[in-house]
Amino acid sequence: MKYLTLLFLSTIIFFACGDPGATTSDPVVASTPTDAITERVAAAEKRLAGSEGGQLVASAIEAHGGLDAWYRQSPLYYHFNYVPTDGKGKVRNSFILNDYRGARAVHQKAGDLDVTYGFDGTDAWQNPADSDPGVSPRFWSLTPYYFVGLPFVLADEGINFEVLENAELDGADLQRVKVTYEAGTGDADDDYYILHLDPTTHELVALNYIVSYRGFFEEGKSLPEKLMRLKGKTRVDGILLPTGYATSWSSDPDVNITDITIADYEFRPDTEDAAFDKPATAKVVNDLPTE
């Protein structure tokens, strides 16, 4: 997965049940000036137009609602539940608030709403400091962010695109684009994705990917490639979003190893910026190897 640590008052974040949106008496909204969004979109469109693969990704972004609407309505709230099908793997279930303009996240652990963790743009954290979030906050904070945010997150800098031959998946002939990352982009620049796009609608149908996160793997090593099929889509305020993924090993595509369900989507552009701050009582947990 990609962990984009590219962008950007300690406060304790107070949560209503299942709702990570904080409030204060004098709120500062997590907004970006209109001209800054316009400039960011224009720069992204120029980058994507520079290659055939980028153009296919740009078409996918438009089919899913467009980059301008995506940025203007951020942050996005949702419920993400990752369940291994063998009954033995670790379930990762949380209510999430993602800032897609600043690569920030706050998770509230389902089943224990007092436990939170996230990424503030610089540091991963967990709160309370002695709590057990059940995941690596550095690894998992922006993992759902990426799979929910495809194809929009591919408009960022440091990304390369290569058109592959069309391939059949589940009886459909699909366009494919391989996505790789320039050295130094995020925490896992050896990651890659292969997007499977519907040639008529330009929508994302499935993807292959590897996990090469440096907190888990030595340089040059990764998990075997996986295949994720979208189980469904829903349109929220004009943006097409996944309702779930079925995951298998690419080498054994007919055996499902993970079910992901995603629900309760809500764009919250009036969220206070302080909602993404590390709580004053949090512990920083950056589990990457040091050089």
Residue-wise pLDDT for 109-131, tens only, equals: 999 999 999 999 999 999 999 99
Whether 176 and 163 have beta carbons less than 8 Å apart is answered as yes
In tens, the pLDDT along 54-65 reads 999 999 999 999
- pTM for this prediction: 0.84
Pairwise CA distance, residues 154 & 59, whole Å: 12
- Whether 268 shows a pLDDT value over 50: the answer reads yes
Phi and psi angles of residue 149, each rounded to the nearest 5 degrees, phi first: -85, -5
As given in the structure block, the two tokens for residue 205 are: 């149908």
201 vs 2, residue with greater confidence = 201
Q: 136 CB contacts (<8 Å, ≥6 apart)? A: 124, 215, 285, 287
Eight-class DSSP state of 121 = S
pLDDT of residue 219: 56
CA 227/CA 8 separation, integer angstroms: 32
Identify whether the C-beta of residue 258 lies closer than 8 Å to the C-beta of residue 85.
yes
The predicted pLDDT at position 88 comes to 86
Residue 202: C-alpha distances to residues 93, 198, 252 (Å): 30, 5, 26
Structure confidence by residue, pLDDT tens digits, 50-95: 999 999 999 999 999 999 999 999 999 999 999 999 998 899 999 9
Residue of 115 and 19 predicted with greater confidence: 115
Bridge partners for 94 per DSSP = 80, 109
Q: What is the CA radius of gyration of the chain?
A: 18
